[in-house]
Amino acid sequence: MSTMAKTIESKLNAAFAPSALTVRDVSAAHAGHAGARPGGQTHFEVDITAKAFDGMSRIAMHRAIMAELDDEFAASLHALNIRASAQNKP
């Protein structure tokens, strides 16, 4: 797992305590595209399910995730494909 992937995973775990979280570095598939850098770690996919998202709209979930990763976007993270869902209450 890349350094950026570990950082993303750590921050999202701390912020949302997800029941499911997968972070994939897909930078290699974007080589030559805008924002791609030598060495990768610029393009990621996140699948996350968390009780913290219950009652939130899809846009609100995405905004919450993006806010947690502000520092990473300011540094080298270029693109994040998010698939977020709430863990419905019983």
Q: Give the span between the Cα atoms of 90 and 74, in whole angstroms.
A: 38
The token pair at 65 is 């995730």
pTM for the full predicted model: 0.85
Task: With cut-offs at 50, 70 and 90, classify the pLDDT of residue 22.
Answer: very high
Q: Give the span between the Cα atoms of 40 and 31, in whole angstroms.
A: 8
Q: Does the domain made of 3-86 have the CATH classification 3.40.50.300?
A: no
Selection from 52, 47, 48 nearest residue 88 by Cα:
52
Over residues 4-19, the pLDDT tens digits come to: 999 999 999 999 999 9
Selection from 86, 4, 3 nearest residue 48 by Cα:
86
- Write down the domain spans for the chain: 3-86
Over residues 23-42, the pLDDT tens digits come to: 999 886 656 666 556 566 78
Over residues 50-79, the pLDDT tens digits come to: 999 999 999 999 999 999 999 999 988 888
Cα-based distances in Å from 20 to 48, 73, 75, 83: 6, 23, 26, 11
